[in-house]
Amino acid sequence: MILAIFISHHALFAQRNSCIECHQELEDELLAPVETFQLDIHQQFGLSCVDCHGGNASEEDMDLAKDESFKGIPKRSQIPDFCASCHSDSSYMRHYNPSLRVDQLAIYWTSEHGQLFKKKDTRVAVCTDCHGTHGIQAATHPKSWTFPWNIPQTCSRCHSDKEYMKGYKIPTNQWEEYKESVHAHALFEKKDLSAPVCNDCHGNHGASPPEVTSIAYVCHQCHPSAGELFSQSPHKKAYDEMGISECEACHGNHKILPPSDEMLGTGERAVCIQCHEPDSEPYQIASRIKEKLDEFIEKIRHAENLLERADRQGVEVSEPKFRLTEANTALIFVRNLTHSFSLVEIEEKIEEGEKIVVEVTEAGENALREARFRKTGLIIATLFIFLLAIALFLKIKQIDRKTST
């Protein structure tokens, strides 16, 4: 009876898949689906070839397998609807992944890609261009084309192809620029998955170029403090009136380099001079902010240098070193405060930090004095010991002579 149950179980569940059986015998692009489908998320959820392509996989004969339900390879123009036939069906999707959104197609139609697609431009991205075909992985899988550190390459497959993008009249250097950005560094070097990639600013299924005002909102998600300070600054109104995007105007877009103090003030690399005339009041304020900041940094470096010298000379300075981190924290605050462009607020914060730096500098000078004291003490003590040793040596010689005689 157990044997009967075992056999019937196999008879029921060990259904054949003639699609795979035949394609396994084929080569190149006809074999590829079989190989890549092994890792496909649909396969992991128990779906098989017929769930997308139709047909009857239990039939050995190819003609019988390709019955009236067989859909074959969908045309490129059919792909969004082809995928959406399941992915937009909430009752169907609930069986497999209830938390997955089902509005991708609806959002897609609002995107730049979707809009052009509707105008019969099938060169624009469709589902398979970003997700693949038979090797589709969940976006959380590190090898997925839509995993954060793969997204820039996924988008750049089309957007960096000058030939392909000809006719769309948009730049093709985004990927090259992004690679140099602070965000790319965070993503690729530090493996920080929260660093923004293409879809964080442009959207994914609803991909479109962000509006001037919305860029700032995207940046504010991770940089809320800088955003708030800027919003309260006089620049906000001026930028809005002139239609300049807030963050992008100074920091750029795809090539957002690590911010440096050189961006402030009136130097060659300062961004303030892009708009402000040399004799204007804002120009003077920018110059003063940079001056104050440089002075503060110089004082911190001096204190750091004193502590390092004392540390190298063996004096315990971990406490003042820890205290100095508070001055460095104040420096971070000050750098952030530059988004308010308020000289008064910046000066106040610098003053707070400078009090700490004065303390640390004093501790550093004391530590160096202590190091000098130790060395002097050592010289005196060693000299005394050696004199005593010489005296002892002479005494030993004298005793030895006396003993031998």
Partner 1 sequence: MKKALQNIYSYIDSRFKLSSLILFAKKKKVPEHRYSFWYYFGGICLFLFVIQVLTGILLLLYYTPSVDSAHESIQYIMSQVKFGWLMRSVHSWSANILIAAIFIHMFSSFFLKAYRSPRELTWITGFFLLLIFLLFGFSGYLLPWNELSFFATRVATDLAGTLPLIGSQIKSFILGGTEVSGATISRFFWLHIAILPLLTIIVLGIHVLLVQILGMSTPIGLGKKKVSEVPFFPNFILKDSLGWMLILALIGVLCVFFPWEVGQKADPFAPTPLGIKPEWYFTFMFTTLKIIPAHIFTLEGEILAIFGFMIGGFFWMLVPLLDRNAAKERKSPVFSTIGWIVFLYIVVMTALTYLLPGL
Positions that interact with partner 1 (CB under 8 A): 314-319, 374-375, 377-378, 381-382, 385-386, 388-389, 392-393, 395-396, 399-400, 403
Q: Could you tell me the smallest distance in angstroms from the CB atom of residue 194 to partner 1?
A: 23
Q: Could you tell me the smallest distance in angstroms from the CB atom of residue 318 to partner 1?
A: 6
Pairwise CA distance, residues 135 & 389, whole Å: 83
Q: Could you tell me the smallest distance in angstroms from the CB atom of residue 399 to partner 1?
A: 6
Q: Could you tell me the smallest distance in angstroms from the CB atom of residue 185 to partner 1?
A: 25
Nearer to partner 1, 254 or 321 (CB): 321
Pairwise CA distance, residues 242 & 341, whole Å: 18
Pairwise CA distance, residues 158 & 123, whole Å: 9
Nearer to partner 1, 9 or 395 (CB): 395
Q: Could you tell me the smallest distance in angstroms from the CB atom of residue 308 to partner 1?
A: 15
Sign of CA dihedral 202, 203, 207, 212: negative
Q: Could you tell me the smallest distance in angstroms from the CB atom of residue 381 to partner 1?
A: 6
Nearer to partner 1, 272 or 356 (CB): 356
Pairwise CA distance, residues 198 & 112, whole Å: 14
Cβ atoms 313, 290 nearer than 8 A: no
Q: Where in 262-356 does DSSP place strands (E)?
A: none
Nearer to partner 1, 45 or 393 (CB): 393
Pairwise CA distance, residues 300 & 255, whole Å: 30
Please name the amino acid found at residue 123.
Answer: R
Nearer to partner 1, 187 or 310 (CB): 310
Nearer to partner 1, 171 or 314 (CB): 314
Using CA atoms, how far residue 311 sits from 181, 298, 358, in Å, is: 36, 20, 18
Q: Which of 301, 285, 298, 303 is nearest to 347 (CA)?
A: 285
Q: Could you tell me the smallest distance in angstroms from the CB atom of residue 400 to partner 1?
A: 7
Nearer to partner 1, 31 or 391 (CB): 391
Coil/strand/helix, residue 23: helix
Q: Which of 101, 85, 26 is nearest to 53 (CA)?
A: 85
Q: Could you tell me the smallest distance in angstroms from the CB atom of residue 382 to partner 1?
A: 5
Query: To 10 degrees, what angle do helices 281-312 and 318-337 make?
Result: 170
Q: What is the DSSP letter of 258?
A: P
Pairwise CA distance, residues 282 & 79, whole Å: 55
Cβ atoms 383, 390 nearer than 8 A: no
Nearer to partner 1, 62 or 380 (CB): 380
